[in-house]
Structure 1
Amino acid sequence: MPIPFLINVFHEGLPAWFPDPWLVAKCTTAAGALVLTKWYSSGRSNTAERKLYGRVVLMTGGTSGIGAATAFELAARGAQLILLTRHAQTDPFLVEYIDDLRARTGNNLIYAEQVDLSSLHSIRQFATRWIDNAPPRRLDLIVLCAATLTPPGGARTTTAEGIETTWMVNYLANFHLLGILSPAIRAQPFDRDLRILVPTCSSYIASPTLDTEDLHGDQAWTPSRAYARSKLALMVFAKAYQKHLDAYKRPDQLPMNARVVLVDPGLARTPGMRRWLTRGSLFGLLVYMVLYALAWLLLKDPTMAAQSLLYATMDGNLLRGAGGKLVKECMEVDCARKDVDDEAVAKKLWESSDKLIERAEKEAALKRAIAKKAQEKRDEDASRAAQQAAQVEEIEALLGAVKKGRAAKDAKEGQKKNGKKTKSAGDSNPPPRNASQIHPVFFTDKLRRPPFAVASAPHSNPIAQGYVYQDAPRGSEKSAGSRL
């Protein structure tokens, strides 16, 4: 079929229904350009592969963006995940997220610990609990994916401990966490493949230098400068931390096997990137939705951005040689700035960070002590007030019982008095009674006086008040004999 068609086209030209060749060429070129652009912007895929069953992974930022994609891939390969998140363990979002992750990966060894990376006290509490264990807990991988940023035009914010938020979450939290976990890292066996992945961003290239007195950038602060400075500081610290681990002398005289690996995952369509592009406004979000096709074309998917992290986790060549290597697009690359390896800058950054943490923790501890004392005083006052209220209630109950008893007694006495009054009132109008009830029996039946009758006859003997007793005539049968 194609051959006769081509022969016909060669001899007679293109048929009338065939579109313009130049239009076909333009459309084909445009489609090819889009495909090539998408393929290039998606980045390279991970070529290293291995099972992670039995390996313990400590991870920050594992609930969104690149961290969530990385957590899914690690859990799918059997790793035991411990997610450090600011959400409480009973938070509905976190519970549902972990249940969904367990169901999708078939891995039930996924847990969460509440660690607020904007609080030095919260970080110290978790890290202290982790190292306070004998024998030391197993640890195979640490992934520090948590990061934050302020949208362009946003105001500078500080944490409750008075530290700039971007500097605290992106750099100082990782510095504090790894500093406390250092004994647990150094206590791992020699043959254990322990890696510490430190994700970074290409924005560190435009960061101001760290050899100034204003290391935190509080004077000339902008959102972009703050984010870039925090990423540069994190890279400098990662290089210095690798030297710190290498300088440790193990009791078994074997070399240290822990490796710090810097990873640049590239630009991806994450919540942080969306917040940056939309400037944190509804209008910016509308523009982002209209131009989403452009974002889809030029930005990576979070799963593709996680490929470099997976490569840094599973590639065996990274264990050879010194640590502190930078991985980008699933291959080792060089840093774009020389001051990343500057020991003087690293020393100054380390010392200033220690002083900042010490000062902030002292002030926070003092505030907590004052707040605790005030709370104890409020609790004591509340307890005293409760006791007084209970005493008053008890006294009122006792008085109420006394009053109730007195009222009952008075009511009973009133009933008795009312009963006597009723009886006396009844005596004035007595019910009809027979003669024996009116006249008690003082004598025998033979000596009983016969009933009397009241009469007013002239021959009767008058008695007081005009009444007379009328007896039977003397000597008659009805006579009772001699009168007494």
Structure 2
Amino acid sequence: MPLPILAEGATRGLSAIPYGYTALKTAVGLAVIAALKRYFGGATNKSDRVMHSKVVLVTGGTSGIGAAVVRELAVRGAQVIILTQHSPSDPFIVDYIEDLRTSTGNELIYAEQVDLSSLYSIRLFATKWIDNSPVRRLDMVVLCANTQKPSSSRVSHGTSEGLQEEWQINYLANYHLLSILSPALRAQPPDRDVRIIFTTCSSYIGANKLDLKVLEKATVIQHSVDSSAKQKAKKGPESFVSILKSSEQGAQSILMAAMEANFSGVGNTAAISLDEIKKMAGENSDMTGRMKVGIEGGTLLKECKERHVLRSEIMDEKAGKELWEFSQQQIEQKEKEAALLRAMEKKAREEEEKDKKKQSKTEKSTEAKKKK
């Protein structure tokens, strides 16, 4: 049937075929849509890896890109611990974890309560994690948590410590969590491939110039500068990988960072000179080329490809050190203020309870006198 129709169209033209032009326009339109969908769908991760016995901490793992990353890691057998602001007994978290375990066939999926908008909550979890002997295994930390208010919004939300919400969740929480977990990461065996994966977005290119006096407007670039500074200062096997997150299949780049064998930080140090790298690589163009791009000592990925860093501040050691010191001072100050506030609230509650007990005793004494 199709051959006679095609022959008729070839000899007598499309006008001889009923609805020929309509069918052709529809076919061309569908082909264009399919091509655009394929093009804008983003790159696909071609790296794969067996993740059995790997222990992975994930923030922002209950929705969006983070949820996709959690699912893919769980399918490959990783033990995934999702850090969420909700209690593990929350009905949503319980159902979500059970659904993940059922769909992936992996029972090693758990949730821990960590409110990234609270420095105190982060410290409680991280301190509990490192307070263990022997050191708990930790192969990977994937930081996907993020918050963003609409550009038209005039309402500025603050955290319990009095910090701007976007600044704390998108940057300071990651800094605080990794700072406390650092001993656990460095104590891992030298042959263990430990990776820390940041997520950011390409808007860092157009972000305001790094200014510690105007924190809220430069969160994206501060995140990148901090990851670069951490990588330069590292003295262990961990490898920092920064991801440019797109809205289309953003998880693919993160999965590549998690599973690509060439990104292993085992045996690498950030203090190696380019000449030493060339000697180690045996003038291997792939290795030396990879070490020249991205964040020094780490890798910058976008659409599953390594990219050059396009902002000079990110590679500036002085800027990284200043941001690092500023962040530490701010955390110390806010934690002290929050601790004093908690102590005052506790004292107020104790006094209130004492007053209630005293009032209750007085009432009982009055009733006893009335009965007499």
Letter of the structure 2 residue corresponding to residue 158 of structure 1: G
- In structure 2, the residue matched to 1:230 is 219
Q: CA deviation at 1:125?
A: 0.9
Q: Which runs of 5+ in 2 are unaligned?
A: 271-296
- In structure 2, the residue matched to 1:313 is 258
- In structure 2, the residue matched to 1:103 is 102
- Of 8-17 and 229-238, more deviation after overlay is shown by 8-17
- In structure 2, the residue matched to 1:349 is 323
Structure number, greater radius of gyration: 1
Q: CA deviation at 1:391?
A: 3.6
Q: 1:115-134 maps to which residues of 2 (within 5 A)? A: 115-134=114-133
Residue 183 (structure 1) aligned with residue 183 (structure 2): yes
Q: 1:222-261 maps to which residues of 2 (within 5 A)? A: 226=217, 229-246=218-235, 256-261=236-241
- Relative distance call for 1:375 and 1:66 in structure 2 (3 A) is same
CA distance in 1, matches of 2:14, 2:145: 60
CA distance in 1, matches of 2:340, 2:255: 43
Residue 368 (structure 1) aligned with residue 342 (structure 2): yes
Cα RMSD (Å) = 2.0
Residue 380 (structure 1) aligned with residue 360 (structure 2): no
- Relative distance call for 1:375 and 1:41 in structure 2 (3 A) is same
Q: Is the 8 A contact 2:9 2:17 kept in 1?
A: no
Q: Is the 8 A contact 1:265 1:307 kept in 2?
A: no
Q: Kindly provide the CA deviation profile for residues 117-152 of structure 1, in whole angstroms up to 9, marking residues without a partner as x.
A: 011111111111111111111000101110101112
Q: CA deviation at 1:316?
A: 0.4
- Give SS of 1:326's match: strand
Q: Kindly provide the CA deviation profile for residues 14-63 of structure 1, in whole angstroms up to 9, marking residues without a partner as x.
A: 56334455x65544433222111100111111111111111111111011
2:298 aligns with one of 317, 324, 336: 324
- Relative distance call for 1:5 and 1:395 in structure 2 (3 A) is closer
- Give SS of 1:78's match: coil
- Relative distance call for 1:4 and 1:112 in structure 2 (3 A) is closer
- In structure 2, the residue matched to 1:64 is 63
CA distance in 2, matches of 1:346, 1:87: 33
CA distance in 2, matches of 1:144, 1:11: 62
The count of residues paired between Structure 1 and Structure 2 equals 342
CA distance in 1, matches of 2:366, 2:185: 61
Q: 1:149-160 maps to which residues of 2 (within 5 A)? A: 149-154=148-153, 155-160=155-160
CA distance in 2, matches of 1:61, 1:385: 47
CA distance in 2, matches of 1:25, 1:365: 71
Q: Is the 8 A contact 2:195 2:241 kept in 1?
A: yes
Q: Is the 8 A contact 2:205 2:310 kept in 1?
A: yes
CA distance in 1, matches of 2:370, 2:150: 63
- In structure 1, the residue matched to 2:143 is 144
- Of 141-150 and 152-161, more deviation after overlay is shown by 152-161
- In structure 2, the residue matched to 1:169 is 169
Q: CA deviation at 1:174?
A: 0.4
- Relative distance call for 1:185 and 1:374 in structure 2 (3 A) is same
Q: Is the 8 A contact 1:76 1:106 kept in 2?
A: yes
Percent identity reads 46
Q: TM-score scaled to structure 1, two decimals?
A: 0.67
- Give SS of 1:88's match: coil
- Relative distance call for 1:158 and 1:215 in structure 2 (3 A) is same
Q: Is the 8 A contact 1:50 1:314 kept in 2?
A: yes
- Relative distance call for 1:361 and 1:6 in structure 2 (3 A) is closer
- Give SS of 2:234's match: helix
- Give SS of 1:377's match: helix
1:336 aligns with one of 310, 313, 319: 310
- In structure 1, the residue matched to 2:207 is 207
CA distance in 2, matches of 1:10, 1:314: 52
- Give SS of 2:240's match: strand
CA distance in 2, matches of 1:319, 1:378: 57
Q: Is the 8 A contact 1:60 1:85 kept in 2?
A: yes
CA distance in 2, matches of 1:171, 1:11: 67
- Relative distance call for 1:136 and 1:19 in structure 2 (3 A) is same
Q: CA deviation at 1:86?
A: 0.5
- Relative distance call for 1:11 and 1:214 in structure 2 (3 A) is closer
CA distance in 2, matches of 1:165, 1:12: 69
CA distance in 1, matches of 2:105, 2:346: 45
Q: 1:29-48 maps to which residues of 2 (within 5 A)? A: 29-48=28-47
Letter of the structure 1 residue corresponding to residue 177 of structure 2: L
Residue 52 (structure 1) aligned with residue 51 (structure 2): yes
CA distance in 2, matches of 1:54, 1:344: 39
Q: Kindly provide the CA deviation profile for residues 164-191 of structure 1, in whole angstroms up to 9, marking residues without a partner as x.
A: 1100100000011101111111000001
Q: Kindly provide the CA deviation profile for residues 396-424 of structure 1, in whole angstroms up to 9, marking residues without a partner as x.
A: 55x3xxxxxxxxxxxxxxxxxxxxxxxxx
Q: Is the 8 A contact 2:51 2:77 kept in 1?
A: yes
- Relative distance call for 1:391 and 1:46 in structure 2 (3 A) is same
Q: CA deviation at 1:388?
A: 3.0
Q: Kindly provide the CA deviation profile for residues 235-255 of structure 1, in whole angstroms up to 9, marking residues without a partner as x.
A: 111111112213xxxxxxxxx
Q: Kindly provide the CA deviation profile for residues 357-388 of structure 1, in whole angstroms up to 9, marking residues without a partner as x.
A: 11111111111111111111111112222333
CA distance in 2, matches of 1:324, 1:10: 58
Q: CA deviation at 1:6?
A: 5.6
CA distance in 1, matches of 2:338, 2:46: 47
CA distance in 1, matches of 2:26, 2:8: 24
Q: Is the 8 A contact 2:8 2:16 kept in 1?
A: no
Residue 192 (structure 1) aligned with residue 192 (structure 2): yes
